[in-house]
Amino acid sequence: MSISDNLRFFQQQLEGSGCRLVTVTKTHPVEKLQEAYAAGARLFGENKVQEMAAKQPELPTDIEWHLIGHLQTNKVKYIAPFVHTIQSIDSLKLLLEIEKQAAKHNRVIQGLLQFHIAAEETKTGLTLPEAEEILQSEALRGLRHVRLTGVMGIATNTDDEARLRQEFGELRSYFGQLKARYFAEADDFREISMGMSSDYQLAIAEGSTLIRVGSAIFGARNYGAAV
């Protein structure tokens, strides 16, 4: 199956579902991204700042770039001129830095709060109390250049469907609680980013609005390959 066949498959799967596809392009060369663009992909996800910043100038400007990997505050400046959504917000410090860098470019960058939903200790993200502490902070009220539009989570790497459903359901519940308490009037707080190549069907069944899919579109990644 070619990249365009795979994309067509996802476009058909998602039609009418209210869920959109983020095509995860990390480790793949620019030519593959161009192929995906030609086949209709417009939301691209990368997990590393340098890689995203290197690829972005080579591609059309109507792409929505989503950062899906951990972001250090000192690197925000490299993507602030163009990034559409930072899906991996896990601290107030990071939010404030995004505000500062986006302001320099007179832009508004969208952000998702990343939650820890997996069993593995290594997967990063906030707990609900940590997220609430951020949302209740005084500093948040002054933000004009970063807009929170939802939540993101990475489920456990397992084929245990019950466990995956439970984790996706947990993220949906966090979204619902934050929506009710902090964003009831904000129509654009609406994204639940969950589901990858191996578990996107369950994620959609549990209410995902953004699935992040890489290997099911491009094949297995070769981490040794150059950008």
Give least dist CB 220 to ligand PLP, A: 8
The answer to whether residue 212 forms part of the interface with ligand PLP (CB under 6 A) is yes
Per the structure block, which two tokens stand in for 197?
């190549």
Candidate list 13, 73, 91, 215; residue touching ligand PLP; CB under 6 A = 215
Query: How many residues make contact with ligand PLP (CB under 6 A)?
Result: 14
Determine whether 183 is exposed, middle or buried from the number of CB atoms within 10 Å of its CB (0-12, 13-18, 19+): middle
Token pair 């593959």: residue? 32
Q: Please calculate the CA angle 140-110-47 and round it to the nearest 5 degrees.
A: 115
Report the residue number, 102 or 211, with the smaller CB distance to ligand PLP.
211
Candidate list 52, 67, 194, 213; residue touching ligand PLP; CB under 6 A = 213
What is the helix (H) or strand (E) element at residue 101, kind and residue range?
helix 92-104
Question: What is the spatial distance between Cα 69 and Cα 88, in angstroms, rounded to a whole number?
Answer: 6
Instruction: State which residue has the least CB distance to ligand PLP.
Output: 214
- Candidate segments 51-59, 71-79, 127-135, 193-201, binder of ligand PLP by CB under 6 A: 193-201
Candidate list 48, 69, 135, 169; residue touching ligand PLP; CB under 6 A = 69
The answer to whether residue 66 forms part of the interface with ligand PLP (CB under 6 A) is no
Candidate list 26, 28, 55, 116; residue touching ligand PLP; CB under 6 A = 26
In DSSP terms, which residues pair with 111 in a beta bridge? 86, 148
The answer to whether residue 208 forms part of the interface with ligand PLP (CB under 6 A) is no
In DSSP terms, which residues pair with 126 in a beta bridge? 115
DSSP string, 13-80: HHTTSS-EEEEE-TT--HHHHHHHHHTT--EEEES-HHHHHHHGGGS-TT-EEEE-S---GGGHHHHT
The answer to whether residue 154 forms part of the interface with ligand PLP (CB under 6 A) is yes
Question: 95-134 mask for ligand PLP (x: CB under 6 A)?
Answer: ----------------------------------------
Total Cβ atoms within 10 A of residue 121: 7
The answer to whether residue 24 forms part of the interface with ligand PLP (CB under 6 A) is yes
Enter the DSSP assignment of 157: S
Report the residue number, 103 or 156, with the smaller CB distance to ligand PLP.
156
The footprint of ligand PLP (CB under 6 A) covers 24, 26, 47, 68-69, 154, 196-198, 212-216
